[in-house]
Amino acid sequence: MRSLAVALAIALMPPLAGALRGSPACEVPEELMQFDHKLPHLAEKLQTHEPVKIVAIGGASTTGLAAGSSDFAYPHRLQEILARWYPFSPITVVNRGVPRQTAQQMLDRFPTDVIPEDPVLVIWETGTTDAVRGVEVDDFAATLQSGIDELKAHGIDIILVDMQFSHSTMTIIDFERYLNALHRAGDVNDLDVFQRFELMRFWSEQNVFNFDGVAKEERASLAANVYDCIARKLAEAIRVALR
């Protein structure tokens, strides 16, 4: 569903070069960067210059293992960027990634890994393992809903992050249903969803990041570049939401 809108937006876009600004490697069409919902709790902390704690919970791509170290993972990069943009509040982004977990397993970690940190914003990256394992898509949706309810009950702002795009597994993993469920969960709860899947698909189609024919040793640094772009786009998304 959602992907058709994106496909149309990209197809109907004015010549690409014109739409691309700034650091060329990370740029994506504006249509992929629309964020309509506010992050009121985060905005308040930043306004009053109070310390800000953000928890990033997710899977392997949150841990950043593919880049060799969590210093290259998107949460760490995000912290560096936000610290530069909002110098008056000390900002910490806590990495709570555990590889190969379903949304339910992440939800089970909320009481130990997320809530005690007393975050003002939670970035929840999920769906990949659910799609790979073929978890019932309605169960996945219900899990998202309970997680969102729990975070909202604690007065925590939420950003959902969808799956990574992988060209080679597209034919055997049915991502679409899980993507739709995750986006709909964002929709019905008035949350912003960071469209990592479409962003990475765009980069893949534009050949921005190509892992084919790259020596094994260089793959980690290429992965670090991708995570860096993800962090930058996520930071921009947060800035848009704070506006």
Binding positions for another protein, rule: CB under 8 A: 1-5, 7, 11, 59-61, 65-66, 99-100, 128-129, 132-138, 141-142, 164, 166-176, 180-181, 184, 187-188, 205, 211-212, 214, 219-220, 223, 226
Least separation in angstroms between residue 86's CB and another protein is: 29
How many other C-beta atoms can be found within 10 angstroms of the C-beta atom of residue 91? 23
Q: Which is nearer to another protein, 49 or 100 (CB)?
A: 100
**Residue whose CB is less far from another protein, 92 or 180:** 180
Helical H runs in 134-205?
Answer: 137-153, 175-188, 196-205
Q: Per DSSP, what are the bridge partners of residue 36? A: none
Decide whether 88 or 188 has the Cβ nearer to another protein. 188
**Residues 88, 125 contacting (CB under 8 angstroms):** no
Cα angle 70, 109, 68; round to 5: 15
Residue nearer to another protein on the CB measure, 5 or 16 = 5
Work out the angle between the directed axes of helices 40-47 and 216-242 (0-180°, nearest 10).
80
Question: Closest distance between another protein and the C-beta of residue 100, in Å?
Answer: 6
Nearest to 59 by CA among 211, 184, 161: 161
Q: How far is the CB of 98 from another protein (least distance, A)?
A: 11
Residue closer to another protein by CB (options 43, 142) is 142
Closest contact distance (angstroms) between CB of 191 and another protein is 13
Tokens of 210: 């190509």
